[in-house]
Structure formats: C-alpha cells, structure tokens
Structure 1
Amino acid sequence: MTYHSEVVGSLLRPTYLVDARKQFEADQLSASDFKAIEDRAVNEAIALQEAAGLDVITDGELRRYAFYGHLVDALSGFDKYGGWAIPFRDESGEELVLRRPVVVEKLQWKRSMCAEEWIYLRSRKSRPGKVTMISAQQAAAYYDPEKSKAAYATRDAYLADIVDFSRREVTELVRLGCTYIQIDAPQYAALLDPQMREGYRQRGSDPDKIIDQCIAMDNAIIDGHPGITFSMHICRGNNQSKFYASGDYEPISRIFSQTHFQRFLLEYDDARSGGFDPLRHVPDDRFVVLGLVTTKKTRLETVDELRHRIREASQFVPLERLALSPQCGFASTMEGNHISFEDQRRKLELVASVAREVWGS
C-alpha cells in the first residue's frame, strides 16, 4: 500500500498523563489505574490522527517516558539517567542538557518492547498503523567505556546484544500482525554534522567507518521479513524545541542505497537540514517522506510553501515516491516541544490535507 501522509511517532502528552506517570513512579498510583489512564491518552491520540486524515498512525509513543523508553524499560541492565549528557540548543543559543541511559549490567529480556503498544493500537485503529523502535546506533550512545565495562568489555559486545534483542522484537511484532515498523536513528546526525564528524576524527574514530558499521547493524535487525514495510527516520535532535546537530544528508547518503529500508523519513523543516540534492542517491524503489512541517515552532506552514518544496524535492525523487510528514515527533521526551495541542492538531491536519491535494485520496 502507498502512504503519502504520516506522523513520525510521538505526540504531546496530556497533562493528566504526565501527572499520572509521576504518581505511578512515586508509588502513589497503582499499575492498573495508571494503565487505564495511558489507555485513555492513546485513545485520544488515535482519534486525533484519524480525524486529521493521516494515512498511517501511531499510538503517539504515549506509554514511553522518551522515544527510547521501550528499550530501556523492556530490558534490565540500564541505569535510566546515569549516562553522559547531551546538549540541545536552539537558534538563540539557549541550551538544555538531557541525561541519557547507560548500560551497567548485562542486558536481560524482561518483556516485549512494543507488543503492548501494537496490540492496543491494532484493536482500535481504523487506518494502517506503525510501531517505532530505535536503531542500534542510537543505543550505542548508551554505552560508557567506564560505567559499562563491567557488563560489556567492549561497545561491540553490547551492540551484539542490542541487535539480537531488536531483531527478536521485530520478529514478535511481525507475528502479531504489524506490517509497518519504523526505526528511529537520530544519532546519524552526529555523522553528518561537520563539527561532530571532526570530533570523531580527533578522538581516533573514522566517521565513515562508523556509518558502514551502523548500516550493517540496521540491516541485521530488519532483514528476513518479506512483505513488511521498514522505514528509517533521521533527524538532527528534537528535545523541547531544541536540536543538537546541523548539516545536509550528503555525508551519510549511502544509507539510502546500502540499507534495506523501503522508506526514509527525513527532516527538512529549516536551513539546518540542507537542501534536497542528497536525495539523488535514493534508489528507484524507495520512498522519501519529507519532514517539511516543523514540530518545534508554533508557526503553521502555508499550503503554497509546502507544495513548492515538494516540487523542489521531486526534481530528485519522482513525485509518486514522495510523501509528507512533520519533521520529527512532537514530544521525543515527556516534556514535549514548546507548542500547544491546538498547534499540533493544525499541523497534523495540514500534513494530511496537503498530501490529499498533491497525491489524491
């Protein structure tokens, strides 16, 4: 099936859900009561996307504390907030720091990462749905040479387990009837940003070699599932309306031809994203989902500017193999970006309506 409009993954968390999670984590709310509140929030997220008219929907990642929460909560062995901090900034220079997980014990499977999300979505949606997972390369950031060495002597040993567990999850989702799985890989932004690439070199790592290793891991996770649509989402950081990297896709453009993903959801909402020229590397049998509508700012893009940018991109990828989405999730972490629920609704409706105008229903 051809999809021309979709979300990237996360949606803003309602205040009642954020409050309930805090109560649950403080042992002030039972698991069953918290689950009922989660269900209510997911129901609202499904209704929002279906009313907007999107071709593909998610559960909004509302059961996660962050976009990588499915991994951290499903496997024992992570210190949830003990990892190295990553700075996010905006155009004004304002920064915030996100504490990331770190692996401190050998990973063990506690439960499926996404089965609950998919089974609930599957039973309530009236449109095609998808599930989001993170890439092995994103999980690589949760290894610290000092804090993790007692569990895994090397990062490669840790990543071997990440690949195995991720592939196990994909197999389970396919068994449960999921036909569209998205892999989120924002850590690729560190391999396209010129300053960050130079930082890798100064630390003795070849960024191009890392790209090749990441491609191999991505393929190992998704290969062997005919008939399933796999997409990869690559942005440049998204946390409370801030980012951490800049640069176009050219330095990592071989992912388009060397990975086995059928769809690439790409960030194209501002000047940091560069131009469409790297899309010339996309093979003839792949789709590109243009993330032209920003989730970081309240301004609503116009129909004319979106149509113009779609035409620009079609110089590199034929129109029939293009689609439209927001540039990233609306709430990669629980705090969410600095926009309102009304802004979010209008942006989702815009994505769907422009897609209908450009590609038809």
Structure 2
Amino acid sequence: MKHPPFHAEHIGSFVRPPRLIEAARAHKATRLDEAGFRAVQDDCIREIVAFQESLGLPSVTDGEFRRRSWSAGFIDAVDGFGLRDGTLGFRTESGVMGVASSPYAKERLRRRRRIVADDYRFLRSVVKRGEPKVTIAAPDVMHWFLGPKAYDGAAYADREAFFADLVAIYRQEIAELANEGCKYLQLDDTALPCNCDPHARKDVAARGENPDELTERYARLFNECIAGKPADMSVAIHLCRGNLKGAWMAEGGYEPIADALFNRLNADVYCLEYDTPRAGDFSPLRTVPKGKTVILGLISTKTPVLESKEALKR
C-alpha cells in the first residue's frame, strides 16, 4: 500500500444520510439510547467506507459521521469547556448571518475520554482498501476566535498555561492513535486562514493581540502538539475559511501566514482551500520548501456543478 500523502483525496465531511440525522435527533431527545445511536452510526460508516472504496480513493474516512460539527468531537470529549459569543460570524453574499459561538475554558481542561482513537479503531476494522484517515480540530481553534477570552482567569493564569494543557491533551490522543495503528491524521484549522482576513486581523489587534505573533505562536503550538508522533504517521493540516451551507467566515489569500505556515509549522501535508476567489491566488506557494506536500482544494463541495478539467488546469 502507498503511504500518504496521495495524489488526490477527499477532504471534509460527507453529507449525513437521512436515517443518521433522524437517529441524532432521537438521541438528543432521549428517544434513542447511546448504544442504539452508535449502531446507526456504525452502519452508516460501513456504507460510506464502501462508497469511498468503490471510487478507488486512496485515503478513507468515516465521513466524520460521529461528530456534531467539525470541532465538536474535541469539545465533547474534554471537560472544562463552555461557549461564548465571538466576534466572527458566517457571511453570505447578502451579509453576515450572525455571530458564531466559540468554546472557552471555564475550568482547567481535562480529557474525559478518547477523542477519536475509538472512532479510528472502528474505521480501521471496516476499511478493506485504502489508508484509514482520522480528523480532529486543530489546537489553535480553541483560542483564536476568542483570544484572551478563550479561558477564564480562574482556570488559567495566562495563554501559555492554557496552551500547555491543550498540548498535553493532543499528545495523549496522538499517542493512543499511534497505538491503534493510525498512519494518517488530519488537523482541521479555520484559525490560520481566518487570520488572513483583513477585517479579522483588525479585530485581533483591537483585542490587544498581534495577528502576526499569533500566527507564529500557533505554528509552535501545532508543533508542540504533534511532537513525539511516530515517524510513520503523516500529519496533515487542512485550512478552511468555514463552510456552512455555502456561507463562509473569512476571506483573503494565504500571504499573511505563508512563511510561518510552510517553513515553521511542521505538517507533512498542507490541504489548502482554493475552490473560491476568497482564497486568493497561488503566489503564496512560492514559499513552500522542498520536501513538503501541498494538496490544492480545487474541486468544491459548495456547489453541485462539477468543475471541468479545463477549469481546473486554469
């Protein structure tokens, strides 16, 4: 079997089947117990795995069917989080839809259960062809949207103490993923691409932080979290500006973060959103050093229209 990264991959969630949506609603309303909900998830994952294998995809995910949202898998498994309104909302062509809630540490963070290691174990058991890939929210997401308000002072004296607990949680999870045989881990990051948005950068400065310093610190945070991973585990970072039924959270090319992203953040693979003009042009890719792999996100999930080969070449 070839090892990641691969020439072409699917990035992101698959559309939930109707019966999985109904099961989630029944579970939330306590009409379906945890075992029953898990059984429905298992069946739907088997089907989406078979679908990916039928397409010949080299990496196979569980469709991200077990998590409520792209970041909820982490938050649900870690005690100490609450929610606060941030300053950044989803946008459409007609304006801002509303401010999004973001997690904050109201108490010291403690991993209550395995975050995705059990999910990976099941995924690996049902994949017959291809490399099982597991996804988790990137650590900087837990800070960027709220900045200094991402933790209560009673829980953490400063940002570094907060980051230290995040690092410990990620390292423990990655070690357990390695023990399960995981060779491909993807960290989903909206913080760094949002930090490319001129308006968002002004908001960061207004709350007393330097957006360029944050980029550098987030690169080190990423490196600290994956330190100690096995040499045969490939780690990808997936950069996205948010996607909620076609709405987005930020716009702007990768130039403000490119140097730190490609030269000081130690990902093996960079999965870059490039399916709309909001992502800018390819000029930031000039800073990618030899030995690192970039996967260009050119085929969009935001529209049902399939791109032509000619459009992709342009």
Q: Is this a same-fold pair by TM over 0.5?
A: yes
Q: CA deviation at 1:218?
A: 0.4
Q: Report the counterpart of residue 171 of structure 2 in structure 1.
A: 167
1:147-167 superposed Cα distances (whole Å, 9 cap, x missing partner): 733322333322211111011
> SS in structure 1 opposite 2:297?
strand
Q: CA deviation at 1:94?
A: 5.7
Residues 298-309 of structure 1 correspond to what in structure 2 (within 5 A)?
Answer: 298-306=304-312, 308-309=313-314
1:290-343 superposed Cα distances (whole Å, 9 cap, x missing partner): 10011112221112212x14xxxxxxxxxxxxxxxxxxxxxxxxxxxxxxxxxx
Cα distance in structure 1, aligned partners of 2:21 and 2:99 = 20
Q: CA deviation at 1:262?
A: 1.1
> SS in structure 1 opposite 2:304?
coil
> SS in structure 1 opposite 2:298?
strand
> SS in structure 1 opposite 2:14?
coil
Gap change, CA 1:55 and 1:181, over 3 Å in 2: same
> SS in structure 1 opposite 2:120?
helix
> SS in structure 2 opposite 1:181?
strand
2:247 aligned residue (242, 262, 266): 242
Higher strand proportion, which one?
Answer: 2
Gap change, CA 1:46 and 1:146, over 3 Å in 2: closer
Gap change, CA 1:9 and 1:159, over 3 Å in 2: same
Q: Report the counterpart of residue 53 of structure 1 in structure 2.
A: 56
1:72 aligned residue (63, 67, 75): 75
Percent pairwise identity: 35
Gap change, CA 1:99 and 1:15, over 3 Å in 2: farther
Q: Report the counterpart of residue 117 of structure 1 in structure 2.
A: 119
Count of aligned pairs between the two proteins: 307
Q: Report the counterpart of residue 313 of structure 1 in structure 2.
A: none
Report the more deviating stretch, 239-248 or 147-156: 147-156
1:132 aligned residue (109, 131, 135): 135
Greater length-normalized contact order (CA 8 Å, ≥ 6 residues apart) = 1
TM-score by length of 2: 0.92
Report the more deviating stretch, 234-243 or 208-217: 234-243
1:182-215 superposed Cα distances (whole Å, 9 cap, x missing partner): 1111111232112221222233211111111101
Q: Report the counterpart of residue 277 of structure 1 in structure 2.
A: 283
Gap change, CA 1:305 and 1:104, over 3 Å in 2: same
The code of the aligned residue for 1:163 comes to: V
Q: Report the counterpart of residue 208 of structure 1 in structure 2.
A: 212
Gap change, CA 1:89 and 1:65, over 3 Å in 2: same
1:18-54 superposed Cα distances (whole Å, 9 cap, x missing partner): 2211221222111111110111111122122222221
Q: Report the counterpart of residue 289 of structure 1 in structure 2.
A: 295
Q: CA deviation at 1:13?
A: 1.2
TM-score by length of 1: 0.80
